[in-house]
Amino acid sequence: MIDLDHNRAALASLPEDARLYLRPTGLGCTPVHDPAAVRRLAGGLVWFGLVHVIARVGRERRASVVVPVAEMEALLDSLPARLRGPAARQWANLLAPRPALDLGHGRQLPFDRPTVMGILNVTPDSFSDGGQHVDPAVAAESARAMMAAGASLIDIGAETTQPGAKPVWEGDEIERLRPVLERLADQPVPWSADTRKAAVMRFALAHGVSLINDVSALTYDPDAIRVVAESGAPVVLMHHQGDPQTMQVNPTYDDALLDVYDWLEARIDACTAAGIARDRILLDPGIGFGKSVRHNLEILNGLSLFHALGCPLLLGVSRKRFIAALSREEPATRRLPGSLAVAVLGAAQGVQMVRVHDVPETVQALKVWQGMQDAALMPPGV
């Protein structure tokens, strides 16, 4: 282990293979008292006053420097030429508002404040709600209820990808989806399809689905990336390590936060090269997918780093196992308080969308958080 260098001068003498990462910090600052001392994060409700500049060489962090936002341009100018361009792009990504997502049929999903994606699993074996929505009538009614409660999208999934799960044949997956999508075909329900398979994606997109949410980031099925590119639909690329059957056996990282960042950056490059526009890509760090509790916490505490990739962020933590590990080993159906805590933590780091089972409760929690953010932008006494 190399001791971290916390001096800015260290950034000017990094070796050729060094990489820089810019993580917004000093979150929660506002421009009320000193507008020059803060910047708005990705056009959302969060402001930041500092940037944590991390230098990585090989597998290890070499330097860790915290810089006030007012000094970032000068810092960028002082970097070696080979690092200046990538760092400047990250800085621009941190400041650029995320454009609204086109969901088709005249629907736009803005990203100037966090939104909620409701989970609808039409599976018999999902970890939290397996079997609750196998009846198409019940599933359709649940979708309507989530929309009425404030969900912006309903993410329908017909294959569980929880740890230990085996793949489902694509024909069975389609037949689980068909009756629910057909029941709501004439109603304004913006659908997302949670699937890894190209055939299921084609079916879903032909039956009113607006967005593809792939836990494999278009790596499971070799045809998936072409289907998404040709469709023009937006896509969520989620980080994972391994497959559902083995991913929790012994997940290993050199640096969980930076490894996930690098992996997602590579997937963005692969998808844009295949014809998927960057403004159609959302990113999910994949909490619980090939990660220990410690890995999850490292990623959650560093979430703001992923804004440097320039895409909206989706956070899926609802009822997940790490919540119970940090508490009293509660079953999935009793993890609502912990789920809300992490959803608000995500919003406070600028996450644009949270994927949840408990829509009304999460919508209320985020509205309260938003109200506090709005109030913080008003000078005292106003």
Determine whether 367 is an active site residue.
no
CATH for 297: 3.20.20.20
Beta strands in 95-233 (DSSP E): 101-104, 107-109, 115-121, 153-157, 191-194, 209-214
- Tell me which of 66, 95, 124 is where a domain ends: 95
- Tell me which of 46, 74, 95 is where a domain ends: 95
Does 83 reside within a domain?
A: yes
Does 1 reside within a domain?
A: no
Spatial neighbors of 256 by CB under 8 A, at least 6 apart, are 291, 294, 295, 298, 299
Asked whether residue 44 falls in the same domain as residue 170, the answer is no
Give the DSSP H/E element, type plus range, for residue 65: strand 60-68
Question: What pairing do the DSSP bridges indicate for beta strands 107-109 and 101-104?
Answer: antiparallel
- Tell me which of 71, 95, 119 is where a domain ends: 95
Q: What is the pLDDT of residue 328?
A: 94
- Give the burial class of 218: count Cβ atoms within 10 A of its Cβ; 0-12 exposed, 13-18 middle, 19 or more buried: buried
Does 33 reside within a domain?
A: yes
Q: What is the pLDDT of residue 314?
A: 98
* DSSP reduced 3-state for 23: strand
Does 262 reside within a domain?
A: yes
Spatial neighbors of 326 by CB under 8 A, at least 6 apart, are 293, 338
Number of domains in the chain: 2
Q: What is the pLDDT of residue 247?
A: 63
- Amino acid type, 63: A
Does 174 reside within a domain?
A: yes
Asked whether residue 52 falls in the same domain as residue 12, the answer is yes
Neighbours of 244 (CB within 10 A): 21
Does 382 reside within a domain?
A: no
Whole domain around residue 105: which residue ranges?
101-376
Which residues of the chain are modeled with pLDDT < 70? Answer: 1-2, 125-131, 133, 164-165, 245-247, 381-382
Determine whether 56 is an active site residue.
no
Does 88 reside within a domain?
A: yes
Q: What is the pLDDT of residue 106?
A: 82
Asked whether residue 198 falls in the same domain as residue 112, the answer is yes
Q: What is the pLDDT of residue 66?
A: 97
Does 3 reside within a domain?
A: no
Asked whether residue 86 falls in the same domain as residue 209, the answer is no
- The tokens for 84 are 């200046």
Q: What is the pLDDT of residue 128?
A: 53
Catalytic residue among 23, 280, 319, 320: 320
Asked whether residue 334 falls in the same domain as residue 246, the answer is yes
Q: Are 319 and 332 within 8 A, CB to CB? A: yes
Asked whether residue 159 falls in the same domain as residue 44, the answer is no
Q: Are 313 and 283 within 8 A, CB to CB? A: yes
Asked whether residue 44 falls in the same domain as residue 114, the answer is no
Asked whether residue 366 falls in the same domain as residue 282, the answer is yes
* pLDDT tens, residue by residue, 319-372: 999 999 999 999 999 999 999 999 999 999 999 999 999 999 999 999 999 999
Asked whether residue 151 falls in the same domain as residue 32, the answer is no
Q: Are 342 and 317 within 8 A, CB to CB? A: yes
* pLDDT tens, residue by residue, 92-121: 999 999 999 999 878 899 999 999 999 999
Q: Is 105 left (phi over 0), alpha (psi -120 to 50) or beta?
A: left
Asked whether residue 82 falls in the same domain as residue 122, the answer is no
Q: Are 134 and 371 within 8 A, CB to CB? A: no
Asked whether residue 12 falls in the same domain as residue 132, the answer is no
Asked whether residue 54 falls in the same domain as residue 77, the answer is yes
